[in-house]
Amino acid sequence: MPQFLRAAATAVALLAVSLLPSGASAEIVVTVDKARQQMFVMVDGEHRYTWPVSTGLGGTPNGSFRAQILSRYHRSTIFGNAPMPYAIFYSGHFAIHGTTAVAQLGTRASKGCVRLHSSNAAVLFKLVQEHGMANTRVLIQDSVTRVVAQRAGH
């Protein structure tokens, strides 16, 4: 991964940690850059993964969220029983989950969820299980670089 993207992902992860109450720590920070259609995964402050994703055509909400529900074999009750393997729900019906539409990864294609390759979703799901939902922060932004530039005063 280019040094610039690694620095941007690290800065966003540190921002997330600084927003937590004192005494708490975000062991896993999942950052989704909607402009680049990429996900950055930090574990204990170290960059571990960068994966292509598909976010929503109609809107994936921006913000900072906590993982709320894990569902290994989830099926959508909203979208015709569509499979959502390794679902990590973070805000209402919005989730990070695996997809069979891997050709669309790297482009906006979902109805609002964050889709990623099912093998990558399995890795992330296991990390959240191991470290706990309370220690997992999901950051979704239009552009990671814009957020970093704003925090740096540029």
Fold classified for 3-151: L,D-transpeptidase catalytic domain-like (2.40.440)
- Residue-level pLDDT at 151: 42
| CA pair distance 101, 21, nearest whole angstrom | 38
Structure tokens at 73: 């074999």
pLDDT digits (tens, 9 = 90+) for 18-33: 444 433 444 899 999 9
Q: What is the mean pLDDT of residues 62-66?
A: 95
Question: What's the pLDDT band for 1 if we cut at 50, 70, 90?
Answer: low
Query: Per-residue confidence at 77, pLDDT binned at 50, 70, 90?
Result: confident
| Residue 146 CB neighbour total at 10 angstroms | 14
Burial of 122 (0-12, 13-18, 19+ CB in 10 A): middle
Distance CA 74, CA 76 (A): 7
Any idea what DSSP says for residue 93? T
Q: What is the mean pLDDT of the chain?
A: 81
Considering only 8-17, 30-39, 60-69, which range has the smallest mean pLDDT? 8-17
Domain locations in the chain as residue ranges: 3-151
Task: Identify the residue with better confidence: 91 or 2.
Answer: 91
Q: Is the pLDDT of residue 38 over 90?
A: yes
